[in-house]
């Protein structure tokens, strides 16, 4: 787990003098003494509360910056019952999708004066529990989390801490569940399937996580619904959601005889779609002549693959931004317009899909 400091704090620290080793930190008492004003006036000015004139407030803030005063974070947290830190727990830092989510989350928090603490569960339930405990020990004010599977541990954390929680790219919520932000999973599957059916594909495969780890089971549910509606064969290729595991699972599926193997793969990320490219190359098959591939995310690198990847595009930064906004509004006592945010998607057709060869 690592912490990110907001840009506001990062840049301010560059302008402030560093505390010399062995010297006591500057206190509000020091600021007050240097100006000949009361400690209470300094406290009011630094906290932004009423009770001092604008002129005096400006003098106090300028002198505090000049002396290198920094608030005692522990003391502030003790007094306000807030740490001004929000947690972000994601599933897989190797998937570039989450880097954009983190960026949007961190920037939104920075504008509101919050710092961010980030952790990655790496699809390990024990690791997820350890990180949830760590976030609780560090008293984060709220938590956004991309959970593993049905997220029972996250829901327990939410119930125990009474702190606001936002689920990211998780399954559809039940009643009295935490807030959520996710891509429109049903529309994503619809776009991918109907595009492939329009090209003539009748044997389609979807990469899916084991049921206990699946972050978005409604994708597979919608895939099966469309199979019945549109009369195509729907295969589930169950795999751990790592590039190596997905590559091995796709190789095993593509080893089937040409008349039996799928003619198209749908992945829940561009990260795993690339693994299908590698699996096809392992067997001297070509994309899209032998196998069509559709990803999800529209990463910046996806248009540069050979061939460029057809994918379902989603605004990944927006997922992070909307999650941070929900937490910040909840902490500020503001009622959000919606507690379940669905981010729209669209299909970007490139060269990794074509009519089936057989």
Residues 124 and 177 in one domain: yes
pLDDT at 11: 31
- 254 found inside a domain: yes
Residue of higher predicted confidence among 4 and 177: 177
Residues of the domain holding 169:
85-183+317-343
Considering the domain architecture, whether residues 67 and 107 belong to the same structural domain is answered as no
What share of the chain has pLDDT > 90, as a percent?
69
Same-domain check for residues 151 and 165: yes
Pair (174, 219) in one structural domain:
no
Domain shared by 195 and 178, yes or no? no
Domain presence at residue 61: yes
Q: Is the pLDDT of residue 80 over 80?
A: no
Interstrand relation of 2-4 and 115-120 (parallel, antiparallel or unpaired) = antiparallel
Per mean pLDDT, which range of 74-83, 90-99, 105-114 is the poorest? 74-83
Within-domain flag for 192: yes
Over pLDDT 70: what percentage of the chain?
89
Structure confidence at residue 47 (pLDDT): 74
Select from 344, 317, 294 the least CA-distant residue to 186: 344
CATH number at residue 43: 1.10.260.40
pLDDT band at 17; cut points 50, 70, 90: very low
Q: Is residue 202 part of a domain?
A: yes
- Residue 244: CATH number of its domain: 3.40.50.2300
Please check the confidence at residue 38 and state whether its pLDDT lies above 60: yes
Q: Is the same domain home to 144 and 177?
A: yes
Per the domain annotation, does 349 fall within a domain?
A: no
Please tell me whether residues 278 and 201 are part of one structural domain.
Answer: yes
Of residues 22 and 181, more confidence is placed in 181
- Which helix (H) or strand (E) is 12 found in, with range? helix 7-15
Are the CB atoms for 167 and 179 separated by under 8 Å? Answer: yes
Q: Whole-angstrom Cα distance, residue 95 to residue 66?
A: 43
Which two tokens mark 333?
């006592």
Same domain, 168 and 92: yes
Is residue 50 domain-shared with residue 192, that is, in the same domain? no
192 and 302 assigned to the same domain:
yes
Residue 76 has pLDDT above 90, yes or no: no
Into how many domains does the chain fold? 3
Hey, what are 228's tokens? 């019945």
Q: How confident is the model at residue 8 (pLDDT cuts 50, 70, 90)?
A: very low
Over the stretch 313-341, which tens digit does the pLDDT of each residue have?
Answer: 999 999 999 999 999 999 989 888 889 99
Peptide linkage before 120 cis (omega within 30 of 0): no
pLDDT band, very low/low/confident/very high, at 43 (cuts 50, 70, 90): confident
Cβ pair 308, 281 in contact under 8 A: no
- In the predicted structure, residue 71 carries a pLDDT above the cut 80: no
* pTM (global) more than 0.85: no
One domain, residues 89 and 60: no
Res. 3: pLDDT tops 60: no
Q: How far apart are CA 223 and CA 267, in angstroms?
A: 12
Residue 23 inside a domain? The answer is: no
pLDDT at 16 over 50: no
From the centroid of its chain, how far is CA 286? 33
Average pLDDT over residues 181-185: 95
CA distance 5 to 117: 8
* 91-106 confidence digits (pLDDT tens): 988 899 999 999 999 9
pLDDT, position 13: 32
Residue 4 lies in a domain: no
For the residues of 295-311, what is the DSSP string, one character each?
EEE--TTGGGSSSPPEE
> Same structural domain for residues 213 and 266?
yes
- The tokens describing 160, both together, are 């125990």
Q: Nearest-CA neighbor of 265 among 170, 169, 352, 350?
A: 352
**Mean model confidence pLDDT for the chain:** 88
Binned at pLDDT 50, 70 and 90, residue 12 comes out as: very low
Answer yes or no: is 158 within a domain: yes
In this model, does residue 254 exceed pLDDT 90?
Answer: yes
pLDDT of residue 309 exceeding 70: yes
The whole-number pLDDT of residue 70 equals 78
pLDDT per residue as tens digits for the range 271-307 = 999 999 999 999 999 999 999 999 999 999 999 999 9
Q: Which residue has the higher pLDDT, 141 or 3?
A: 141
Pick 22 or 260 by higher pLDDT: 260
Residue whose C-alpha is closest to residue 87's, from 159, 141, 43, 29: 141
Confidence class for position 36, pLDDT limits 50, 70, 90: very high
Is residue 176 predicted with pLDDT exceeding 80? no
Query: Higher confidence at residue 335 or residue 177?
Result: 335
How far, in Å, CA of 124 to CA of 86, rounded?
Answer: 22
């Amino acid at each position: 787990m690592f912490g990110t400091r907001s840009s506001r704090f990062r840049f301010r620290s560059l302008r402030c003098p560093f505390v010399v080793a062995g010297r006591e930190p500057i206190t509000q008492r020091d600021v007050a003494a240097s100006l000949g004003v009361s400690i209470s006036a300094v406290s009011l000015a630094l906290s932004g509360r009423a009770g001092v004139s604008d002129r005096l407030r400006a003098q106090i803030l300028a002198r505090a910056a000049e002396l290198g005063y920094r608030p005692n974070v522990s003391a502030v947290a003790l007094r306000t019952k807030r740490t001004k830190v929000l947690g972000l727990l994601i599933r897989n830092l190797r998937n570039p999708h989450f880097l954009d989510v983190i960026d949007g989350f961190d920037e939104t928090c920075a504008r509101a004066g919050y710092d961010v603490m980030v952790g990655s569960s790496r699809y390990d339930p024990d690791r997820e529990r350890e990180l949830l405990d760590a976030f609780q020990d560090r008293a984060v004010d709220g938590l956004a989390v991309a959970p593993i599977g049905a997220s029972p541990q996250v829901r327990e954390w939410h119930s125990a801490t009474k702190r606001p929680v936002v689920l990211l790219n998780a399954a559809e919520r039940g009643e009295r569940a935490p807030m959520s932000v996710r891509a429109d999973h049903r529309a994503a599957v619809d776009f991918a399937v109907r595009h492939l059916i329009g090209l003539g594909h009748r044997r389609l495969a979807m990469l899916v996580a084991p049921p206990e780890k699946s972050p978005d089971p409604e994708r597979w549910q919608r895939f099966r619904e469309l199979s019945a509606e549109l009369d195509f064969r729907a295969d589930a290729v169950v795999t751990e959601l790592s590039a190596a595991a997905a590559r091995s699972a796709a190789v095993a599926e593509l080893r089937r005889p040409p008349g039996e193997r799928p003619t198209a793969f749908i992945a829940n990320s561009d990260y795993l779609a690339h693994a299908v490219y590698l699996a096809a190359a392992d067997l001297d098959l070509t994309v899209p002549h032998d196998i069509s591939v559709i990803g999800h995310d529209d990463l910046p690198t996806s248009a540069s693959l050979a061939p460029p990847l057809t994918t379902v595009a989603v605004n990944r930064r927006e997922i992070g931004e909307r999650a941070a906004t929900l937490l910040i509004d909840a902490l500020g006592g503001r009622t959000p317009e919606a507690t379940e945010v669905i981010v729209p998607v669209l299909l970007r057709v490139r060269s990794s899909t074509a009519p089936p060869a057989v």
